[in-house]
Structure 1
């Protein structure tokens, strides 16, 4: 007879696998490099800076969770702030380590278990994710400009980098129109409903209508109270700046002196390439692109690889591991789902 695991254990499978893959890649890459040099870099690490990086990591996730709670409140999700903070904290660690699809799905599941309709929980989650991405996008032009001005690239590479930046900018602009301009949003959602009915024979009109009502209510609320929007954006920016500071502290912990432009460039390119790779959590891709960028900017390869993986461990793997116990408690402490939550 096959062994059946509890559903809650199965949900932890993705994060556990991601953590195992990160450890495996770390071991492989370090052994493929100069072991003695990598070992020296780690042995000389300052634990004081590592502790400071962990404190900033906690600050970053706390800011992200609080901004998520604020967005939900503005969108009419009337749950206790503590519940929203816990959901935001657990899902944020999954988004960073496993990927956006897993993290946003966890948000919807946990909200549904608190009798929030899934179609109502999607709108604030996506809007919050858009604001986060927009805040991060601000780092990319500065990093790429620094890279092009200080380290001239081949024409083909420069064109590719510029084109990628332009595509990202256009994508953010289109997303802003879809989110903020009602007539365009309504038309696109109507086309989506028609496509679902034609292709998969499913009527999702009620869910889409609920999603649009929630989004419209939230945007109207934020428009009437600009201080609420400013406060939310401030917490999101605090999250992003704390995340960048964690990477800076990783460099300091390893005794690596880096210019502000170098740190921002490696951070922006590493995170952006990891997200665009479509690999869950950008595992391997984020580290490789970040290390490659730092090496291109003059950092020894062993140091670049170690700092990239140290950032992964401190900012993503450690919070993911710690959040598993919180996830278990939040999952077990939720009430049964009523039919209208679907």
Structure 2
């Protein structure tokens, strides 16, 4: 992922642009890929509906309302600050990706472009397509090519994924076995095994970036691995971003309900399952996975936390991003 170790070669950029629509389905046997993808989404959503009903059908709206009132204004302010911090971290990853793709833009412009693309993609689904389209509209006016936009989009997505895997692995390893057994449905040996596998996988990637040179073929596409410092920065920023996003929900739970490391060990796979479902925002699927993995957490507090998480990290940013994109479009038309 670099061009002469800094920016991607031209042929790779073209391949990335061509690949963007394919990432939402299968490049090979597209009909079969679409059917299997829709079936997976249906099964995950159906399973999530059943799990949510099983966990929360005894709750009354009054119990959830009481749990929301228990947040306090300090928790609400903290959740909003964490949400803003997460989008800022995404902006720094975007800034690094733009430089990698050979586009040098001022940081404030990048922060705005990243926020609009990420906020819309989070809520609307089809992450690569939606975020890529927003970036193409916004960055295209600043001289960024479609090929560079495609490269940036994939760079951002990979940073998020690698960071999520690293965070999940470390969290599962450092969470205490007693707490995992108390609040989580993950058996301790399984948690340790998954944690080791994820950490080793991330270490292999960083090592490959240190020693592998030139273009490698992955699923039929040419990819130039980044330098080791860039790879380390990708994982560090991606992990920090995901940790901050997890903290948005965690701070809305009662104090001492669950330790942060154990919580993240459930949050990370739940995010991955939500993304795999292709349900917009992973709505329902994410909550179902979290409810299963955190069976020891008070259901009313967890249900209230889900509502706050969706409000502070999805609904409010989506509304702000929509307004910002509309204002940016109007300003551009008037200037033209």
What TM-score results when the alignment is normalised by the length of structure 2?
A: 0.66
Kindly indicate which of the two structures has a greater share of residues assigned to helix: 1
Alignment correspondent of 2:32: none
Report how far residue 287 of structure 1 moved.
1.4
Report how far residue 164 of structure 1 moved.
12
From 122, 132, 140, give the equivalent of 2:150.
122
What TM-score results when the alignment is normalised by the length of structure 1?
A: 0.65
Q: What per-residue deviation string (whole Å, max 9, x for no partner) do you get for residues 293-331 of structure 1?
A: 22x2x1232222222232122122221122211122233
Alignment correspondent of 2:80: 54
Kindly report which structure 2 residues correspond to 1:276-287, keeping only aligned pairs within 5 A, or say none: 276-287=276-287
SS in 1 for 2:253: helix
Cα root mean square deviation, aligned = 4.2
Alignment correspondent of 1:322: 320
Cα distance in structure 2, aligned partners of 1:107 and 1:169: 33
Matched pairs, number: 277
Alignment correspondent of 2:9: none
Q: Is the 8 A contact 2:91 2:115 kept in 1?
A: yes
Alignment correspondent of 1:242: 244
Computing the radius of gyration from Cα coordinates, the structure with the larger value is: 1
Q: 1:126 to 1:277 in 2, by over 3 A?
A: same
Alignment correspondent of 1:38: 64
Alignment correspondent of 2:112: 86
Q: Is the 8 A contact 2:162 2:238 kept in 1?
A: no
Q: Is the 8 A contact 1:95 1:103 kept in 2?
A: yes
Kindly report which structure 2 residues correspond to 1:266-281, keeping only aligned pairs within 5 A, or say none: 266-281=266-281
- Unpaired stretches in structure 1, ≥5 consecutive residues: 1-24, 193-211, 337-342
Cα distance in structure 1, aligned partners of 2:203 and 2:137: 27
Cα distance in structure 2, aligned partners of 1:176 and 1:304: 39
Cα distance in structure 1, aligned partners of 2:208 and 2:233: 22
Report how far residue 130 of structure 1 moved.
0.9
Alignment correspondent of 1:17: none
Kindly report which structure 2 residues correspond to 1:299-314, keeping only aligned pairs within 5 A, or say none: 299-314=297-312
Alignment correspondent of 1:138: 166
SS in 1 for 2:153: helix
Report how far residue 129 of structure 1 moved.
1.8
Q: 1:177 to 1:230 in 2, by over 3 A?
A: closer
Q: 1:70 to 1:261 in 2, by over 3 A?
A: closer
Q: What per-residue deviation string (whole Å, max 9, x for no partner) do you get for residues 148-188 of structure 1?
A: 874399999x889978996998799799979x956553x55
- Unpaired stretches in structure 2, ≥5 consecutive residues: 1-48
Alignment correspondent of 1:197: none
Q: What per-residue deviation string (whole Å, max 9, x for no partner) do you get for residues 5-32 of structure 1?
A: xxxxxxxxxxxxxxxxxxxx9xx97994
From 119, 122, 136, give the equivalent of 1:108.
136
Report how far residue 245 of structure 1 moved.
2.3
